[in-house]
Amino acid sequence: NLRNSELVASFLIEHGVDPDKPDKFGQYPLKYLIENDLESAAIVLIRSGKVDLNRKFTLIENNFIVSDSKNATYLHLAACKFSSKILSELLDQDVIDINCKDENEETPLVKAIKYKSIDNIKLLFSMDNLDYKYKINDNYDIIEVAKSVVEYRRNDELHLESKEDYLEYIIHIIEAGKY
């Protein structure tokens, strides 16, 4: 693990290193930092204004049968993480559409649910423009995503009317699946 990653990132940017130039394997620095939980350095890159935050890439998802998500954004990647720091920083930049879809028609909210990232789910729900009633391919909603991730088999009678109802029920499903 890289110690003082924030200081190292700041130093490199101050000394002319391009924070948006891929390495010889085509890996972009911000993507690498997010994937490896180097939050402080990632935030330095995001705040630098020198990174194309609208970049699309392939997100490898080893935990799922569909193992990659083409045309994913940094929001998708950050939504998969346990911590909400990077997702919060990206949302604060207001550059990427919160409801953007990857090639699998998954939004950052769907990714947060798939990875059971409760803090990121709550953060996304706090945003006014979140489409929490979105259905993947017009038939698979976020409640069904949450149930499939934790193998939730109860058929609860639902009366979800508000955004808060949806959030509360999704958290209930994920937490029920921990046991």
Q: Each residue of 101-157: pLDDT tens digit?
A: 999 999 999 999 999 999 999 999 999 999 999 999 888 899 999 998 888 877 777
Nearest of 49, 72, 53, 46 to residue 61 by alpha carbon: 72
Residue 2 has pLDDT above 70, yes or no: no
pTM of the full structure: 0.90
Q: Each residue of 7-54: pLDDT tens digit?
A: 888 888 999 999 999 999 999 999 999 999 999 999 999 999 999 999
Residue 113: per-residue pLDDT:
95
The Cα-based distances of 7 to 37, 39, 110 in angstroms read 15, 12, 33
Query: Three-state SS across the chain?
Result: CCCCHHHHHHHHHHCCCCCCCCCCCCCCHHHHHHHCCCHHHHHHHHHHCCCCCCCCEEEECCCCCCCEEEEECHHHHHHCCCCCHHHHHHHHHCCCCCCCCCCCCCCHHHHHHHCCCHHHHHHHHCCCCCCCCCEECCCEEHHHHHHHHHCCCCCCCCCCCCHHHHHHHHHHHHHHCCC
Residue 66 has pLDDT above 60, yes or no: no
- 106 by Cβ neighbours in 10 Å (0-12 / 13-18 / 19+) ranks as buried
Residue 14: per-residue pLDDT:
93
